[in-house]
Structure 1
Amino acid sequence: MGLLSGLLGGNLGGKQLVAKVTTMDADLESIPIVPDWTGRDLFDLVCRIIGLREFWFFGLQYENKKNISCWLQMDKKISKQDVPKGVDGHLHFLFLVKFYPEDVEEELIQDLTRHLFFVQIKQAILTQDLYCSAEAAVLLASYGVQAIHGDCAEDAPVDVAKYLPANVTSQYDMTVDMWQERIRRWWTHNAGQSREDAEMEYLRVAQDLEMYGIQYYPIQNKKETDLQLGVSAQGIGIYKGANRITPRPFFSWSEIRNISFKNKQFNMKTVDKSTISFQAKDHSINMSILELCIGTHNLYLRRRQPDILEVQQMKAQAKEERIRKQDEQNRLQKEREERMQAETERNQLRNDMQTLNEQLHLAQEQARKSDENATIFSTKARTAEDEIKELLKRAEDAEKETQRMKITYLQCDGMRRMMEEEIREKELAMQRMSMSIGDMSMQNWQQPRQATHFASQAMMGQENGWMMHNGNQPMSNSHHDVMSNTSSADEEREAARQWDELQRAQRSASTQPMLVHTPQIMPNSTPPFRSSNSYDSTTTAAPATATATTPATATTPTTSSNDSTAPTPPLPSQQSPFSLKHLPPVGPPPPDPSAFDVGNLPNEIAQLKNTLDKSKLDYNNRTKHFKATLQEFRTELEGLKREERVTELDRAHAANLGRDRGDTLRMPRSKSVSSLDSSDHEWYWCVSASGSMQRRIATFEGL
């Protein structure tokens, strides 16, 4: 109460009323009202309490006794206005936006003003007072969650009911999770935006909605046809039926000369001196309509005049504040990028360290395997050395046996030659003896038989004696010869037997396999020995066999050798660190200052011109990107739409696709009123909103 007393100047005497003012952010409870206060006194007090300087956009709204929303008149006492008391005995007011700007980015100066606009428009969309298509609602929801929760996080809550209107969610065959997924998809595109930037983007999108900034009041023309009067920053439109999107007709403020109220009837005069008359359906809202039209028209004229000093000062302060915030945001963005770069480098180093650890582990494993292989190879080498020694010993023994057999062979050969010589000599002797015996037989056979019978006995005796004498000699000789022949045959058989044994020994020495363990020798190793004798043909087979079997056993060291010579990934110091400087530039390059003909303008003006042009180019690029992405999303949602839930506003919006808000208000007429049949009258909202002044007036009067 002390603060309010100070704001009220201490004048709290007399009968007092108590007001409760609800803003979009908070409630101002128990504001004492002096009986002679006007609406402006209470309005100024509320503006001072909340710290609002752009007060010309706002007003105090209340519900009269007929439950019709009315604006509190500024120049009239509060006690004289039809403001009912609530159950608690207080006067209840809503602090709302009353007049809308044509361009929110250019006209809204304070952050508080922008925030109040943001909250009110968001609430109007949720309550379906402001029509919004599904694709635009999802896009606006993404900016809304960015403004409230900041950058998108996996566990960040997305309450669909707080960001999407019920008519949108019920019109499509989609679950809550599907809506959340699409909001998150767009939400991720807003990363890095501050709350102020997100709210401004929200308002930029919202001001392109067909019903944005239009306040509707029920009226009647001279034919007492129920119509809707739509008052906006661009002008006044007349709407019929449930269609509040396309006016029929529309009059811009530049075409309106004056609006007056007399005898419960409004008269709107145009620049061509024509008059349009209509009356409110309920007379309690007459002054609200009149004040709204006058205030909106005054703001329309004010925008086209130089700013007053207060506004210039506010814009200068707001510009300095924006520059300071922009610098702060740039600094934070730079720090964020540096932190991201540092985190990226840290992750890169961590990955490199992990890679090096894996390589070290592999190297240690290979070293362990190499040690095991070396141990195995050393064991095999010792075994091979022992086998080689055994082979050398066997080879030496075989050499000695070969030499002994050679000596035996030479001895046998000498004996064979001697025996052959003896045999030849004995054969010659036998031949000589045979010849001598034959000669003697022939001589005895050829002696004449001249002995007589008388001498036959004597001769017979002599002959027997001679025969006995001579017969012993040949018989003894023959016996000697037989014995000699027998001994010679035995010697020949003995020699033949020894010769056969010698031949068998030679064949056994040349063909007997070496039943030894073949040593495993490296392929590039040389044989341990090389002999020049007949054993070479048997001993050289072992190295060949070892060579053939060696590659299978030498696989492990060969693989290790290949692994050791394989290219290894570069160390972290050899790799170029990740840097955002190497990324492609985002967005169009800044305009060349030399392209502008600044002449003798000061440098500050030239820089301001460059900044404005750059901002305009950036805005155009963002607008093109926004339209493209919105069209893609619209196409995606078309397949999930429930046709039975389509309303007349949806049809009107679909008919106006491809046109901006200004084109919708000024859409030319394709048919005259007289040429329309009953079906055409049903859809007349899609044909006429513009044309000549007389034709539009005739259209209004013919409704």
Structure 2
Amino acid sequence: MSLFRRKKTGKVIPVKISTMDAELEFSLDYKATGQELFDLVCRTIGLRETWYFGLQFQDCKNYIAWLKLDKKVMDQPDILSHSPVQFLFLAKFYPEDVSEELVQEITQHLFFLQVKQSILNMDIYCPPEASVLLASYAVQAKYGDYDEASYQPGLLANEDLLPQRVIDQYKMTREMWEERIKVWYADHRGMSRDEAEMEYLKIAQDLDMCGVNYFQIFNKKESDLWLGVTNLGLNIYENENKLTPKIMFPWSEIRNISFDDKKFIIKTVDKSSSNFTFYSKKLRMNKLILDLCIGNHDLFMKRRKPDTMEVQQMKAQAKEEKLRRQIERSKLAREKQLREEVEREKAALETRLIQYQEEVRQAKEALQRSEESAELLAEKSMVAHQEAMLLQQKASEAEAEVQRIKVSVIKTEEERQHMERKSRESELVMRRILEDAERRKNEAENLRLEVQQAREAEKEAKNKLLEFLNISVTEMKGSPTGGSGGTPAPSWNTGNSWQRNGYSPGDMERRQGSNLSPEFIHELRNQSFDQGNQGHHGNQFSLHLQNEELTQSALDISNGFNGRHLSHFSVPNLSIPAYAHRFDLSSSVSHELMTENDMEALSLEIERERWQYLEKSKTLQDQLITFKSEIDELKVDENMSELDKLHSEQQHLGDNKYSTIQKVKRGSTQSRVAFFEEL
């Protein structure tokens, strides 16, 4: 006989669990209890706040039922035996204050999905203006921050965001609803998914029907009524009004709950008061009512006791996690802000660079046009000079002819007179020729002056280009991207530059007057004396600069000459290399962003959030009122439901969920029991 006996594998059943955002499948032992299945689901999804949830199913008669955790799953008679066995993992009980009681993010997320689904299915009544606000938080939770650049029109119109009752109630298209939702969606910028879901739940928990389980009952007078089982107690509603309860019995006033057949008996803490008795219309619902009453009563009493060690541990962990995320979010926000500033500066500099390049191009074109004009005028001056030389030659020939005629006319008086007459005529012709020659000479002089003026205009255009480059380089050196390293000084090739351009140092001195310093004028004269006069046509005063020298040379000129007019120079390639405006983004944001002072500021900011909440709520209410007044003009009164009319009456009276609760639980328990019997 073997010493080791193999454990027999028991019979298993397939189980399918549907949560609000996932579907789980398990192979469950046939003898497993409901608690084992429930714990398996909670471990799988990482849920620790298990007391709010349960496993729901439909029994053989299609009634809603909850799995009993203390019994075996397959021993519960109402469970259908088909394969796989299906359950819904849903919230069974609701907290009184979601912001204080819901600790885990998974808990908040599951509540958010379930409440959102109930509102869209119209199981929970939500007024139109609140529906739009809740839809904006749902969009923020799903898509994150609103980005106008990537947002596509029609994105929200195709989403299931509003109850059909709200859409039918107004003459508004889906695009119009989308535009309304988008306005609030843009206001939620910077809000994380869990924050958006929490804001959604904060608003939803104030809805009259949120967290209420309704059951049809009647009293001794057989009046049809609704019983509402809530986290605060038992509400009694009239048959036509599920929004506003008529009376309420808080859990603190209830001592015992039991039922016999269809009769429910509720014993109150006040022993002098008679029992609160009502009758259910469906016997199968009695167990469900009792189960919900016991669970809500236990949670009601648990909230008013000190938190258990498990809850304290979860809250401490949640607080640390929230603080860590706030610090990370603050760091990311600052890094994002710094990066955006750098990007904006980079874009501005690139724009300015493009503008400067365009201005340089235009200046080059103007300079080229002036050079072409100067060359054309020089050609005209040369032609005029040649014509003047030709006229002078003709005048010389005419004068020689006159002398020859004078020598030959000696024979007779008649011939002398004739010769004198001819001489006078020749002199007259010569005078005319000389006058014409003088006139042509004056024209040539005028053309020479025009050529000189054109060269001066050319020099002025080049001086302006140099001054523009000085300004550009100075601004670029003052920008964050400008370098501070030294640049080699430019080399000036002066040669016979002044004579080549048709100017002497004396001309430059007379032209520039007081704009030039005495040292600069003396240097120009020395250059002229050293180099000699080598003509004034064809060469230009050239400034040879490398790309790396252009920046420093322009700065040296602007600082050293301080506004002097320089002579003509040839500009090399002005295109700026790609690396000239490169940004090191990593170095801009690599320093430590959170110091001890930042931690203190963050703590103070968290404290201020509590004080700002009331002001934010007031602002939100004002926005809702404004939005409601805007869409009231498009309302179709015929499509208003009974709940819409009841809500309008409630708003007209100035009541809300909590003020109504305070009203309906006034008076003694005995008086409320008596009032219930008379309904």
Task: Tell me if TM exceeds 0.5.
Answer: yes
Task: Give the aligned partner of residue 311 of structure 1.
Answer: 311
2:601 and 2:448 map into 1 onto residues whose CA distance is 87
What's the CA shift for 1:107?
Answer: 0.9
Note closer, same or farther for the CA distance 1:83–1:287 as it changes in structure 2 (3 Å cut). same
SS across alignment from 1:219: strand
1:371 equivalenced with 2:368 (yes/no): yes
SS across alignment from 1:193: coil
What's the CA shift for 1:543?
Answer: 11
Q: In terms of mean alpha carbon deviation, does 355-364 or 269-278 score higher?
A: 269-278
Q: Would the aligned equivalents of 2:16 and 2:26 in 1 still touch at CA under 8 Å?
A: yes
Task: Give the aligned partner of residue 31 of structure 1.
Answer: 28
1:133 equivalenced with 2:127 (yes/no): yes
Q: Would the aligned equivalents of 1:370 and 1:557 in 2 still touch at CA under 8 Å?
A: no
Alignment of 1:464-475 (within 5 A): none
SS across alignment from 1:227: strand
What's the CA shift for 1:616?
Answer: 0.6
What's the CA shift for 1:81?
Answer: 4.6
Task: Give the aligned partner of residue 383 of structure 1.
Answer: 380
Give the partner amino acid of 2:47.
L
What's the CA shift for 1:390?
Answer: 6.9
Note closer, same or farther for the CA distance 1:699–1:161 as it changes in structure 2 (3 Å cut). farther
Q: Please, which of 62, 66, 69 is the counterpart of residue 67 of structure 1?
A: 62
What's the CA shift for 1:290?
Answer: 1.9
Note closer, same or farther for the CA distance 1:46–1:358 as it changes in structure 2 (3 Å cut). closer
Task: Give the aligned partner of residue 286 of structure 2.
Answer: 286
Residues 524-563 of structure 1 show CA distances to partners (whole Å, capped at 9, x for unaligned) of xxxxxxxxxxx99x99999999999x99999999899888
Give the partner amino acid of 1:53.
R
Note closer, same or farther for the CA distance 1:259–1:644 as it changes in structure 2 (3 Å cut). farther
2:671 and 2:453 map into 1 onto residues whose CA distance is 103
Alignment of 1:345-424 (within 5 A): 345=344, 348-381=345-378, 383-384=380-381, 387=384
Q: Would the aligned equivalents of 1:12 and 1:34 in 2 still touch at CA under 8 Å?
A: no
Q: In terms of mean alpha carbon deviation, does 43-52 or 311-320 score higher?
A: 43-52
Note closer, same or farther for the CA distance 1:559–1:141 as it changes in structure 2 (3 Å cut). farther
Give the partner amino acid of 2:235.
G
* Alignment gaps of 5+ in structure 2: 1-6, 399-420, 482-582, 586-596
Note closer, same or farther for the CA distance 1:612–1:328 as it changes in structure 2 (3 Å cut). closer
Q: Would the aligned equivalents of 2:30 and 2:74 in 1 still touch at CA under 8 Å?
A: no
1:395 and 1:200 map into 2 onto residues whose CA distance is 105
1:23 and 1:666 map into 2 onto residues whose CA distance is 32
Residues 325-375 of structure 1 show CA distances to partners (whole Å, capped at 9, x for unaligned) of 334434444443444344x24xx4244234323422332332232222133
Give the partner amino acid of 1:269.
T
Task: Give the aligned partner of residue 661 of structure 2.
Answer: 666
Note closer, same or farther for the CA distance 1:558–1:272 as it changes in structure 2 (3 Å cut). farther
Normalized against structure 2, the TM-score is what?
0.64
Task: Give the aligned partner of residue 274 of structure 1.
Answer: 273
SS across alignment from 1:634: helix
Residues 157-194 of structure 1 show CA distances to partners (whole Å, capped at 9, x for unaligned) of 54644333222223232333333344444333334433
SS across alignment from 2:234: strand
1:259 and 1:174 map into 2 onto residues whose CA distance is 51
SS across alignment from 1:639: helix
Residues 362-402 of structure 1 show CA distances to partners (whole Å, capped at 9, x for unaligned) of 3233223222213313432553576589789999999xx9x
Note closer, same or farther for the CA distance 1:92–1:242 as it changes in structure 2 (3 Å cut). farther
2:476 and 2:247 map into 1 onto residues whose CA distance is 71
2:267 and 2:98 map into 1 onto residues whose CA distance is 28
Task: Give the aligned partner of residue 117 of structure 1.
Answer: 111
What's the CA shift for 1:69?
Answer: 1.6
Task: Give the aligned partner of residue 226 of structure 1.
Answer: 224
1:207 equivalenced with 2:205 (yes/no): yes
Q: Would the aligned equivalents of 1:63 and 1:69 in 2 still touch at CA under 8 Å?
A: yes
1:51 equivalenced with 2:50 (yes/no): no
Task: Give the aligned partner of residue 99 of structure 2.
Answer: 105
Q: In terms of mean alpha carbon deviation, does 318-327 or 643-652 score higher?
A: 318-327
SS across alignment from 1:216: strand
Note closer, same or farther for the CA distance 1:637–1:363 as it changes in structure 2 (3 Å cut). same
Task: Give the aligned partner of residue 572 of structure 2.
Answer: none
Note closer, same or farther for the CA distance 1:48–1:381 as it changes in structure 2 (3 Å cut). closer
What's the CA shift for 1:59?
Answer: 1.8
1:67 and 1:120 map into 2 onto residues whose CA distance is 21
Q: Would the aligned equivalents of 2:31 and 2:73 in 1 still touch at CA under 8 Å?
A: no
Normalized against structure 1, the TM-score is what?
0.62
SS across alignment from 1:162: coil
SS across alignment from 2:96: coil
CA RMSD of aligned residues (A): 5.2
Task: Give the aligned partner of residue 447 of structure 1.
Answer: none
Task: Give the aligned partner of residue 196 of structure 2.
Answer: 198
Q: Would the aligned equivalents of 1:259 and 1:267 in 2 still touch at CA under 8 Å?
A: yes
Give the partner amino acid of 2:144.
G
Note closer, same or farther for the CA distance 1:76–1:378 as it changes in structure 2 (3 Å cut). closer
Q: Would the aligned equivalents of 1:349 and 1:572 in 2 still touch at CA under 8 Å?
A: no
1:617 and 1:695 map into 2 onto residues whose CA distance is 40
What's the CA shift for 1:307?
Answer: 0.6
Note closer, same or farther for the CA distance 1:240–1:101 as it changes in structure 2 (3 Å cut). same
Task: Give the aligned partner of residue 629 of structure 2.
Answer: 635
Task: Give the aligned partner of residue 96 of structure 1.
Answer: 90
What's the CA shift for 1:697?
Answer: 4.2
Alignment of 1:578-597 (within 5 A): none
Q: Would the aligned equivalents of 1:100 and 1:213 in 2 still touch at CA under 8 Å?
A: yes
Task: Give the aligned partner of residue 249 of structure 1.
Answer: 247
SS across alignment from 2:284: helix
1:692 equivalenced with 2:673 (yes/no): no
Note closer, same or farther for the CA distance 1:360–1:93 as it changes in structure 2 (3 Å cut). closer
Note closer, same or farther for the CA distance 1:274–1:340 as it changes in structure 2 (3 Å cut). farther
Q: Would the aligned equivalents of 1:219 and 1:281 in 2 still touch at CA under 8 Å?
A: yes
Note closer, same or farther for the CA distance 1:17–1:544 as it changes in structure 2 (3 Å cut). closer
Q: Would the aligned equivalents of 2:157 and 2:174 in 1 still touch at CA under 8 Å?
A: no
Residues 50-109 of structure 1 show CA distances to partners (whole Å, capped at 9, x for unaligned) of 332211111222223432223334456656655141543x54332211111111121111
Note closer, same or farther for the CA distance 1:357–1:690 as it changes in structure 2 (3 Å cut). same
1:607 and 1:298 map into 2 onto residues whose CA distance is 41
Residues 422-478 of structure 1 show CA distances to partners (whole Å, capped at 9, x for unaligned) of xxxxxxxxxxxxxxxxxxxxxxxxxxxxxxxxxxxxxxxxxxxxxxxxxxxxxxxxx
1:175 and 1:314 map into 2 onto residues whose CA distance is 46
1:12 and 1:696 map into 2 onto residues whose CA distance is 59
2:257 and 2:617 map into 1 onto residues whose CA distance is 40
Q: Would the aligned equivalents of 2:238 and 2:246 in 1 still touch at CA under 8 Å?
A: yes
2:181 and 2:70 map into 1 onto residues whose CA distance is 46
Alignment of 1:268-667 (within 5 A): 268-269=267-268, 271=270, 273-275=272-274, 276-342=276-342, 344-345=343-344, 348-381=345-378, 383-384=380-381, 387=384, 571-575=475-479, 613-657=607-651, 661-666=656-661
Note closer, same or farther for the CA distance 1:53–1:393 as it changes in structure 2 (3 Å cut). same
What's the CA shift for 1:260?
Answer: 1.7
Give identity over the alignment, percent.
36
* Alignment gaps of 5+ in structure 1: 1-9, 402-496, 515-534, 580-591, 594-603, 669-688
2:95 and 2:210 map into 1 onto residues whose CA distance is 10
What's the CA shift for 1:113?
Answer: 1.4
Note closer, same or farther for the CA distance 1:543–1:625 as it changes in structure 2 (3 Å cut). farther
Q: Name which one, 1 or 2, has greater alpha-carbon Rg.
A: 1
Q: Would the aligned equivalents of 1:235 and 1:253 in 2 still touch at CA under 8 Å?
A: yes
Q: Would the aligned equivalents of 1:160 and 1:180 in 2 still touch at CA under 8 Å?
A: no
Note closer, same or farther for the CA distance 1:623–1:397 as it changes in structure 2 (3 Å cut). farther
Task: Give the aligned partner of residue 165 of structure 2.
Answer: 167
1:553 and 1:640 map into 2 onto residues whose CA distance is 77
2:355 and 2:601 map into 1 onto residues whose CA distance is 56
Note closer, same or farther for the CA distance 1:562–1:664 as it changes in structure 2 (3 Å cut). farther
Note closer, same or farther for the CA distance 1:622–1:287 as it changes in structure 2 (3 Å cut). same
